[in-house]
Structures are given as structure tokens and as C-alpha cells.
């Protein structure tokens, strides 16, 4: 186990190179990211899509990348618009060429020998955006800023419009929708919609990030690295926690797209969207991303717009939609690799999965940078706490000499995102930043370290403050961890992290999940690894609906079966809510004390009267306090997990209060 320092605050300084913000062209965000083309058009609409017009030729200048990412349930965007040529670094004289100087593309046969260098300025601006999005006072917004408060009322027409569209996030992704087959989503309608909007995705270079897990964290790390260097960055991701505006972050502060900007953009684009809905016989949807790779709604970026691709991990999520096997998932996700453009692979991958990705890169003559290269070393030295929040102190060393030589030494990197998996995501983001630097972008080592250290994601390994615990009705001494883990792999990762940071005392899990997850495997990983004393099952509303919600009673039966499979002693405490009297809780705990020699876990679920998961958190607190007994006053740990939508309900409760 890693050493955990007990100091409440650790003074430190971060050395940063001085830089100045220079002139930048406005950021263009594709509003169509929110309006995905449906996979099930009427027969009349199933005709070959007209190929999109070719983007403008590449010309010399100083374009900056756009990061396309794919977070939790979708394929996100990070975009970094052009900067003026006066912003070039002293060590990058090749960026000083004027925008009028054209660079012919390298012949395909020479793509590997003359590896891709720099994305060059060529992007016109189609939609006029407020200059205010290019400014921001703080990159660390609180819940109120994320939610938008009363300003959200201005988006009433937008919300109403979106609710009229089919929403696959709420109803579930159809079988085969992510495969490159007749069952797959039809990207032709997405391209036609984008053409009506002026092809905004061709107005900036991009980094496109795919993967089963780690997409959102890698995107956040990379976005903050670029912001630390002085770039304005935009990112599209999903799902959101408090407001749909979180799905688009813009400017140098990393906050959600402002209410006024989103409202104005919607007003500008609505006519084109209406025309597209009519021409496509109503086959546009609210949401159908989240598949990764070939048929994801963000897969409209061509090699001429792409700076680099990133594939973080490949796991068994959305199996039915992506072909039914890990190999088919890897094939789908490798679809984002484009001709002659570098790809960063995170991993670790099994040999056959990595070979599928490398085979695709070979076919497209794309340099491969592996975040698991033998020349990369990373280690977590210890866990410490700063103002009530834990962080892991890491060293990261990258020395790669393959397709694209990269090198950096980072010492004492204090990551707020915990766990070995987040350290690996930080390595992947660092490799991507170094790849962009090799392509011509100005990115200092100080900016890489500062960007990694400044990254935090709500709902991912988030430990609530004492004040937030009090708002949940707890005594403020109990540690509350919220994490959106919902797969077998992420459950194992969460279990390892719980063991790392777990305080003295009992452990309670509050779990709610969607009905299309691997529930038994998820339960098995958390039971075997973290050995909880209490498990309470609840119901998570998915995207505002109940069609994908797993019933709490069904979850309880699965967890009971998993506990018996692991040879745990189980105490079925039935249905329970925060309204239960303390005497009832005491009696339940007493009934569980009759077992000896085996791990014992109390498993229950919410009843029909529970208004929110927060009531169940209070019940969990009572249960673990009682289970500790008078001889052990340790408050213990409560972990809320199973779905980002469940985590969002906790954050929404904190926002309301």
C-alpha cells in the first residue's frame, strides 16, 4: 500500500513559464454535436450520401489543434483554434510562414518516412461567436457555475426542442449501431447536416479521442495542458452531470458553454436544423454518440482536419452495439485513425487488441505512439491531502525513440485524479501533448505539468468536503466518495482506489446502475476487492428517464448472489430508506453480528418511498456507524457508484441546497 501523508496541507510552488495571451481567431463549435443523425431512417432516406466537399487545402501558418475526445458515454471534442503567427515559439521558426504559403501533402508512400509535421492555418470562420468565450476568470468552477442557476431559463426553447427528438442515451443504443454495416448509424445525415451549417468541423484542427474508459480524463488533462500554454480550448463530451451545457466547454477557463452563447447559436442554427429534419424525414436525434469509432456521430473528421487520434482503452462495454466481441470493438474504435496522422494508444492492451489497432495504423501509414512503451516509466510515490482533498504525487518519465521520438521528465506531479488508471491517463495525455509539440505546437514542460496538476473532474473519484457531507445530512466526519464507475474494469479500479484512501472504520456502498451493464461482474469486483460492510442498492434515472433503469430489488438479488459466490455471509436487510428509525438500524446491525470467521455484508435496497439517493446515503451512514460499535468510533467511508447519472443526482442535491 502506498504511504499516505497525514499533513492537512502541503505547501508547494509550481514553476511555470511566463507566456502572454495573443490574438486568436474565434472558436467554432459544431452545434450538430448535439443533433445526431438517426440510424433508422425511412426507406426513402437510405440512399448513398453525397460525399462532402473537400476542405480547403492545407496552407502554412500557425493553426492550433482541436482536441476531439470521447468521454463517458460518447465521443467528445476538444478544439483549439488558430493563434496568430506572432505567437510562435522561439524554437519553432517553421510556424512563422504566412498563411498564403501552401504546403503540398506528402505522397502516401512517403508518409512513414516523412512523418506528419504540423497542422497549418487554413480554417475560415463560419459562425460568429461571442468574443466573451475567449476570456475567462477561473478554470475551477463550482457547482453553481456549472448548473447556471436561473440563467438556464433562457434555454427553455432549446430544451423543449431537444426533448422532441429521439434520445438513444435515454432509450439505449440499438444492436449493431456502432458497426460498419447496414445496422450501423448512418453518418451521411450527419455530414449533410454539417454541410447546411457551413461544415463547422473543418474550421479547426482536431484531436479525436476514443476508448472504453479514460476518454474524459484524458481529454480533461490535454485540454488543461493546452490552456496552461495559453490556448483557447473547446471540448465536447457526455454525459453531463448538472446541465447539458457541460457537454461543450469553451475558452481558456474550461467552463461550460455560456447560456447566452448556446442560446444564440441555437437561434442561428435552428432554421438549418429544421430543414435537415424535414429533408431526412424526421431522422435526426438528440443523442446517438457513445459508440466509439467508425459509426460514432463525431466521426466526421477527415485526415485534413485531424492533428492526432487517441485510443485510451478497449473494454467490453456496448458489446451488442459494437459487434459482440472485444475484437469488433477494437476494430470500431480504430476507425478514428486517419491517413498519415499519428495515433496515441493508451492501454495497456492485450496483444491481439493492440495488433488490431496497429494493423489499422499500418494501413493508414500513421505513426503510433504507445503510452505503454518500454521507454515510459511512471510511479506514484505517496498519497497526501491538501485542504481536505487527496492527491497522488507521481514521477513521469517519457523517452520514446520509435515512429515519433518524444521525451520529457516530470517530477513530483501532484494529480488530483487518483489511482493507477488516472496516472496512465496522465501519461497518455502527456504523450499526446508531446506529439502535438512535435507537429509544431508550442507546449512547454511546465505547461504539461501544470495542466496535469490542475485537472479535476466532478463525479470521478471525487471526495466530498465536510461542508458537502453536512448538506447530505451526515455528521461531517464520514468520508463520502462519489465515482461514476459502471463496468467490471472500472469497478476493479475503484476497489483498488478505495483500498488506497480508505480511512479506518467500516465501508458502505450505495449503488445504482443502468439495466444494460454487467451487474454481477461489477458486484463481484467491488465485493472481493473492497469488502464492504454495507451495500444499499438504489435506482438511477438514466438521462432523465426510467427505461434503462435497473430496479433496485433486482440489483439486490444480484449482489446477494455475488456475495454468496465469494463465500461471504450475507444479511438481507430488505428495503430501507433514510426515514427508518435509529432503533431499526440498530436491530439490523445486531442481526449481522451472529456470524464469525467469514466476511459479513449487509445488503438492502431502497423502498418505493425513497425520494432520492441522498436518503439512502443517510441510511448507509447510520448503518456503518452502528456496525462500528461503541469501541470503534471511526466514521468510515461511504462510496456512491454504479452510474454517472446516480452521481449527478448527489451533485444536484448539493446544488439545490
pLDDT tens track for 153-199: 889 999 999 988 888 777 777 666 666 666 667 788 889 999 999 99
Q: Which three cell numbers stand for residue 164?
A: 422532441
Q: What is the CA radius of gyration of the chain?
A: 25
C-alpha closest to that of 330 among 175, 179, 206, 491: 179
Give how far Cα 542 sits from Cα of 171, 213, 642, Å: 9, 19, 12
Q: What is the mean pLDDT of each run of 10 residues along the chain (657 residues)?
A: 50 30 31 42 34 33 38 41 31 28 35 39 34 37 52 86 84 67 75 91 88 90 94 86 89 87 93 91 76 72 91 77 76 90 94 95 96 96 88 97 92 95 97 96 96 93 90 86 92 90 85 92 93 91 78 94 93 74 60 59 80 80 73 78 92 87
DSSP category for residue 43: G
Number of helices followed by number of strands (H, E) in the chain? 17, 21
Strand partners, 398: 376, 408
Q: How far is CA 273 from the centre of its chain?
A: 27
The answer to whether 86 touches 316, Cβ cutoff 8 Å, is no
Helix (H, G, I), strand (E, B) or coil at 322: coil
Measured CA to CA, the distance from residue 630 to residue 526 in angstroms comes to 27
C-alpha closest to that of 332 among 184, 127, 549, 175: 184
The helix (H) or strand (E) run that includes residue 79 is: strand 77-79
Burial of 500 (0-12, 13-18, 19+ CB in 10 A): middle
Give how far Cα 574 sits from Cα of 537, 554, 588, 607, Å: 10, 12, 10, 9
Contact partners, residue 63, CB within 8 Å, separation at least 6: 82, 118, 119, 120, 121, 122, 123, 204, 205
User: Which pLDDT score is estimated for 260?
Assistant: 92
Q: Which three cell numbers stand for residue 113?
A: 518516412
CB atoms within 10 A of CB 15: 8
User: Which pLDDT score is estimated for 292?
Assistant: 59
C-alpha closest to that of 408 among 437, 380, 383: 437
Ramachandran region of residue 586, left (φ > 0), alpha (ψ -120 to 50) or beta? alpha
DSSP assignment of 545-609 equals BSTTBPPHHHHHHHHHHHHHHTT-EEEEEEEE-TTS-HHHHHHHHHHHTT--SS-EEEEEEE-TT
Q: Which three cell numbers stand for residue 576?
A: 430501507
Helix (H, G, I), strand (E, B) or coil at 247: helix
What are residue 117's phi and psi, to 5 degrees?
-100, -85
User: Which pLDDT score is estimated for 5?
Assistant: 59
Contact partners, residue 274, CB within 8 Å, separation at least 6: none
Q: Residue 121: CA atoms inside 13 Å, Cβ hemisphere, count?
A: 21
pTM metric for this prediction? 0.77
Contact partners, residue 536, CB within 8 Å, separation at least 6: 508, 509, 510, 511, 576, 603, 604, 605, 606, 616, 619, 620, 623
**Pairing label, strands 306-311, 343-345:** parallel
**Pairing label, strands 77-79, 234-236:** antiparallel
C-alpha closest to that of 506 among 595, 637, 599, 622: 637
Composition of the chain by helix, strand, coil, percent to 5: 35, 15, 45
CB atoms within 10 A of CB 263: 17
Helix (H, G, I), strand (E, B) or coil at 480: strand
User: Which pLDDT score is estimated for 52?
Assistant: 34
Amino acid at each position: 500500500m502506498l504511504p499516505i501523508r497525514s499533513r492537512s496541507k502541503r505547501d508547494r510552488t509550481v514553476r511555470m513559464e511566463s507566456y502572454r495571451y495573443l490574438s486568436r481567431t474565434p472558436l467554432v463549435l459544431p452545434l450538430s454535436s448535439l443533433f445526431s443523425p438517426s440510424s433508422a431512417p425511412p426507406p426513402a432516406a437510405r440512399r448513398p450520401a453525397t460525399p462532402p466537399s473537400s476542405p480547403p487545402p492545407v496552407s502554412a501558418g500557425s493553426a492550433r489543434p482541436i482536441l476531439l475526445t470521447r468521454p463517458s458515454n460518447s465521443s467528445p471534442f476538444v478544439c483549439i483554434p488558430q493563434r496568430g503567427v506572432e505567437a510562435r515559439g522561439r524554437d519553432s521558426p517553421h510556424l512563422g510562414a504566412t498563411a498564403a504559403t501552401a504546403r503540398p501533402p506528402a505522397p502516401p508512400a512517403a508518409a512513414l518516412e516523412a512523418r506528419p509535421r504540423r497542422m497549418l492555418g487554413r480554417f475560415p470562420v463560419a459562425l460568429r461567436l461571442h468574443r466573451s468565450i475567449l476570456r475567462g476568470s477561473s478554470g475551477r468552477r463550482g457547482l453553481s457555475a456549472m448548473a447556471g442557476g436561473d440563467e438556464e431559463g433562457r434555454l427553455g426553447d432549446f430544451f423543449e426542442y431537444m426533448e422532441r427528438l429521439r434520445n438513444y442515451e435515454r432509450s439505449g443504443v440499438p444492436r449493431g449501431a456502432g458497426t460498419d454495416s447496414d445496422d450501423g448509424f448512418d453518418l451521411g445525415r450527419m455530414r449533410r447536416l454539417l454541410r447546411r451549417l457551413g461544415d463547422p468541423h473543418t474550421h479547426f484542427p482536431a484531436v479525436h479521442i476514443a476508448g472504453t474508459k479514460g476518454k474524459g480524463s484524458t481529454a480533461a488533462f490535454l485540454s488543461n495542458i493546452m490552456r496552461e500554454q495559453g490556448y483557447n480550448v473547446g471540448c465536447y463530451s457526455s454525459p453531463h452531470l448538472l446541465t447539458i451545457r457541460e457537454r461543450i466547454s469553451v475558452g481558456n477557463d474550461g467552463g461550460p458553454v455560456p447560456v447566452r452563447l448556446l442560446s444564440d447559436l441555437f437561434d442561428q442554427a435552428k432554421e438549418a436544423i429544421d430543414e435537415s429534419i424535414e429533408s431526412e424525414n424526421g431522422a435526426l436525434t438528440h443523442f446517438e454518440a457513445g459508440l466509439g469509432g467508425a459509426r460514432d456521430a463525431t466521426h466526421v473528421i477527415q485526415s485534413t482536419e485531424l492533428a492526432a487520434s487517441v485510443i485510451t482503452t478497449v473494454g467490453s462495454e456496448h458489446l451488442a452495439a459494437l459487434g459482440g466481441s472485444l475484437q469488433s470493438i477494437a476494430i470500431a474504435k480504430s476507425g478514428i485513425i486517419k491517413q498519415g496522422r499519428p495515433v496515441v494508444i493508451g492501454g495497456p492492451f492485450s496483444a491481439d487488441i493492440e495488433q488490431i489497432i496497429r494493423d489499422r495504423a499500418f494501413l493508414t501509414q500513421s505513426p503510433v505512439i504507445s503510452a505503454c512503451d518500454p521507454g515510459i516509466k511512471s510511479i506514484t510515490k505517496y498519497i497526501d491531502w491538501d485542504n481536505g482533498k487527496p492527491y497522488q504525487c507521481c514521477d513521469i518519465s517519457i523517452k520514446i525513440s520509435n515512429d515519433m521520438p518524444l521525451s520529457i521528465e516530470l517530477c513530483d506531479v501532484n494529480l488530483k485524479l487518483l489511482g493507477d488508471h488516472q496516472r496512465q491517463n496522465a501519461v497518455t495525455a502527456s504523450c499526446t501533448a508531446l506529439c502535438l509539440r512535435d507537429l509544431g505546437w508550442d507546449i512547454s514542460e511546465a505547461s504539461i505539468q501544470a495542466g496535469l496538476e490542475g485537472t479535476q473532474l466532478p463525479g470521478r473519484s471525487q471526495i466530498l468536503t465536510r461542508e458537502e457531507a453536512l448538506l447530505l445530512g451526515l455528521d461531517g466526519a464520514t468520508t463520502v466518495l462519489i465515482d461514476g464507475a459502471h463496468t467490471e474494469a472500472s469497478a476493479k479500479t475503484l476497489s483498488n482506489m478505495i483500498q488506497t484512501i480508505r480511512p479506518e472504520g467500516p465501508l458502505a456502498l450505495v449503488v445504482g446502475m443502468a439495466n444494460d451493464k454487467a451487474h454481477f461482474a461489477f458486484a463481484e469486483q467491488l465485493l472481493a476487492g473492497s469488502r464492504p460492510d454495507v451495500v444499499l442498492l438504489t435506482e438511477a434515472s438514466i438521462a432523465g428517464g426510467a427505461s434503462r433503469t435497473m430496479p433496485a430489488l433486482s440489483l439486490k438479488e444480484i449482489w446477494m448472489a455475488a456475495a454468496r459466490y465469494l463465500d461471504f455471509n450475507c444479511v438481507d436487510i430488505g428495503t430501507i430508506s433514510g426515514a427508518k428509525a435509529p432503533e431499526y438500524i440498530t436491530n439490523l446491525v445486531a442481526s449481522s453480528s451472529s456470524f464469525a470467521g467469514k466476511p459479513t455484508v449487509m445488503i438492502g435496497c431502497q423502498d418505493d418511498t425513497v425520494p432520492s439517493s441522498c436518503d439512502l446515503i443517510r441510511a448507509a451512514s447510520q448503518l456503518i456507524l452502528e456496525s462500528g460499535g461503541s469501541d470503534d468510533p471511526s466514521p468510515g467511508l461511504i462510496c456512491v457508484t454504479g452510474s454517472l447519472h446516480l452521481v449527478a443526482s448527489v451533485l444536484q442535491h448539493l446544488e439545490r441546497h
